Structure 1
């Protein structure tokens, strides 16, 4: 068995590297990439005719070193500078708009300032009334495909 590992250990290392890189492509958290690099260290030591147990120690050592010393700063660098702009539902909250079809507690329609037209209903926190077309509103929340809106205070000029 020892001669088999000595003669064909490089195939085992290549297979492990392939498996770890494949798993890393699915997880994208750099853990398996660091283990793959450790396995590469084991492969290189095997190509330099190191005994199998030394190859294993080198692979584990390099993997641990990379996981503990290199991975955390890499993750911080990747997460820094993310896009600060709001998207999806978060981008709609607080957005203004105008009423297209009268809004009551049961329904209506608004055109938001971003150009989208949404079905809408009044927020339960607002007094019951009908909001007429042309009045301005603000989106308080999104419930499925319905914007829950609050009428904007009318300012007297």
Structure 2
């Protein structure tokens, strides 16, 4: 097998490793892709088949050992961001219309929401600040 053919095969392997990355978002496939790219470079520079496999394995293993843990930590660090309803829980709001256990209106994050008090008998008057305990459908339950 000539050097040109070897690098073409490695390059094809690198391209084929794109598909799992797109469908699964597993970073490990990116590392295999980079390893295949390094092996293609070794083949293009005239390295033998054994050297190509050594370069592929060394590059992939190094990336898996050193880069993967860092990437995993970064992925977990970003997961602390709350979205949607979860982002509204614990938020502060201003009472616009009297809020009791049945109904009322608040201004929450710039939007007017229907609201009701969490505790029976609890009443909030206009202008008071309340905290959102939970979201029940389109109603904020406040305390």
Which ranges in structure 1 are unaligned for 5 or more consecutive residues? 151-157
Distance 1:86 1:6 in 2: 52
1:106-155 deviation digits (Å, cap 9, x = unpaired): 4332123x3321111221xx1335545455432111223221112xxxxx
Aligned to 1:120, the other structure's residue is in SS state strand
Shift of 1:43: 0.8
Alignment partner, residue 89 of structure 2: 93
Paired residues, number: 143
Alignment partner, residue 29 of structure 2: 32
Alignment partner, residue 18 of structure 1: 15
Which ranges in structure 2 are unaligned for 5 or more consecutive residues? none
Corresponding position: 1:105 with 2:101: yes
Corresponding position: 1:119 with 2:119: no
Q: What TM-score results when the alignment is normalised by the length of structure 1?
A: 0.66
- Structure having the larger proportion of residues in helix: 2
Q: Which runs of 4+ in 1 moved over 6 A?
A: none
Aligned to 2:17, the other structure's residue is in SS state helix
From 31, 45, 48, the counterpart of 1:48: 45
Q: What TM-score results when the alignment is normalised by the length of structure 2?
A: 0.71
1:38-75 deviation digits (Å, cap 9, x = unpaired): 11221122223334344233312321121112332354
Alignment partner, residue 8 of structure 1: 5
From 60, 63, 67, the counterpart of 1:63: 60
Distance 1:135 1:65 in 2: 58
Deviates more, 1:85-94 or 1:43-52: 85-94
